[in-house]
Amino acid sequence: MAITLTEAAAQRVKDFLSNRGSGDGLRLGVKTTGCSGMAYVLEFADGADEGDEVFESQGVKIFVDPKSLIYIDGTELDFAKEGLNEGFKFNNPNEKDACGCGESFTV
């Protein structure tokens, strides 16, 4: 399994990274918090931490810590537009239930 980006997501990430001027890629992960137990982490990465799994998809490096990987392995990160709102979306096969807001989930 692996973590992948859709083309749209990769394009955005590349734009944001070049705009930021620094950074090696993207960090994906989970935090145990929120109304349904877990919440996604989406950050710029300035390098690998110890034990990180590193994936590459569409030319973008993705860093994931091993604990988080259990919950999000197989995830495809997409970039979506909903009306005026636009942003990234986790298509996570492990996700069983999300809270109404979609910001947290259970596996």
Partner 1 sequence: MALLQISEPGQSTKPHERRFAAGIDLGTTNSLVATVRSGQTDTLPDEQGEHLLPSVVRYLDNEQAPVVGTQAIQSAADDPLNTISSVKRFMGRGVKDIKHLGDRLPYEFVQTDTSVPRIKTVAGDKSPIEVSAEILHVLKKRAEKTLGDELKGVVITVPAYFDDAQRQATKDAGKLAGLNVMRLLNEPTAAAVAYGLDKSAEGITAVFDLGGGTFDISILRLNKGVFEVLSTAGDTALGGDDFDHAIAQWIMSQANIGEDASHGVIRRLLHDARSAKEALADVESVELNIDLQDGSAWQGQLDREQLNKLIDPLIQKTLITSRRALRDANVSVDEVKAVVMVGGSTRTLRVREKIEEFFGQPPMVDIDPDKVVAVGAAIQADVLAGNKPDDELLLLDVIPLSLGLETMGGLVEKIIPRNTTIPVARAQDFTTFKDGQTGMTVHVLQGERELVSDCRSLGQFSLQGIPAMVAGAARIRVTFQVDADGLLSVTAEEETKRVEASIQIKPSYGLTDTEIESMLKDSIEHAKDDVELRNVREQQVEADRVMDALQIALQQDGDLLTAEEVKTIEKALLALHKVRDGEDHHKIKSAIDKLNEATTDFAARRMNKSIKQALAGHQVDEFD
99 binds partner 1 (CB under 8 A): yes
Q: Decide if 29 contacts 13 (C-beta within 8 A).
A: no
- Out of 3, 5, 10, 12, name the contact with partner 1 by CB under 8 A: 12
Instruction: Count Cα atoms within 13 angstroms, Cβ side, for 11.
Output: 5
DSSP 42: E
Shortest CB 82 distance to partner 1, Å: 7
A 10 A CB-CB count for 84 gives 5
96 phi, psi to nearest 5 deg:
-100, -35
- CA angle, 76 as apex, 24 and 37 as ends, to 5°? 95
String marking each residue 42-81 x if it binds partner 1 according to CB under 8 A:
xxxxx---------------------------------x-
101 binds partner 1 (CB under 8 A): yes
- Which positions lie near partner 1, rule CB under 8 A? 12-13, 15-16, 19-20, 26-27, 31, 33-35, 39-46, 80, 82-90, 98-99, 101-104
